[in-house]
Amino acid sequence: MVRPVNKKERQLPFLLLGPALLLMALIVAYPLLQALRLSLFQVSLLKPDAAQFVGMDNYRSLLKDPLFLRSVLNSVMWILGSVSLQFTVGMLGALILNKDFPGRGLVRGLSLIPWATSGVLVALMWTWMLDGNYGVLNDILVKLNIIGQYQPWLAMPTSLGGVIAANVWQGAPFFAVMLLAAIQGVPLELYEAAYIDGANKFNQFWRITVPLIMPTIMITTMLRIIWTANYMDLVLVMTGGGPGQASITLPVLAYITAYERLRVGQGTAMAVLQALMLMVALSLYLKLLQGKEEGGFII
pLDDT tens digits for 21-59?
A: 888 888 888 888 888 888 888 887 777 777 788 889 999
Q: Is residue 147 part of a domain?
A: no
Average pLDDT for residues 132-146, to the nearest whole number?
90
pLDDT of residue 167: 96
Q: Is residue 113 part of a domain?
A: yes
pLDDT band at 293, cuts 50/70/90? low
Report the alpha-carbon distance of residue 9 to residue 65 in Å, rounded.
56
Report the alpha-carbon distance of residue 172 to residue 187 in Å, rounded.
25
% of the chain beyond a pLDDT of 70: 94
How many domains are there within the chain?
A: 1
% of the chain beyond a pLDDT of 90: 46
pLDDT of residue 298: 42
Q: Is residue 222 part of a domain?
A: yes
Residue 263 near residue 239 (C-beta atoms within 8 A) = no
pTM as predicted: 0.86
pLDDT value at 201 more than 70:
yes
pLDDT of residue 292: 59
Q: Which residues contact 197 (CB under 8 A, 6 or more apart)?
A: none
Q: Is residue 56 part of a domain?
A: no
Q: Judging by DSSP bridges, how do beta strands 47-53 and 41-44 pair with one another?
A: antiparallel
Range of the domain at 70: 66-117+171-294
Q: Is residue 89 part of a domain?
A: yes
pLDDT band at 83, cuts 50/70/90? very high
Q: Is residue 246 part of a domain?
A: yes
* CATH of residue 200: 1.10.3720.10
Q: Which residues contact 87 (CB under 8 A, 6 or more apart)?
A: 175, 217, 220, 221, 224
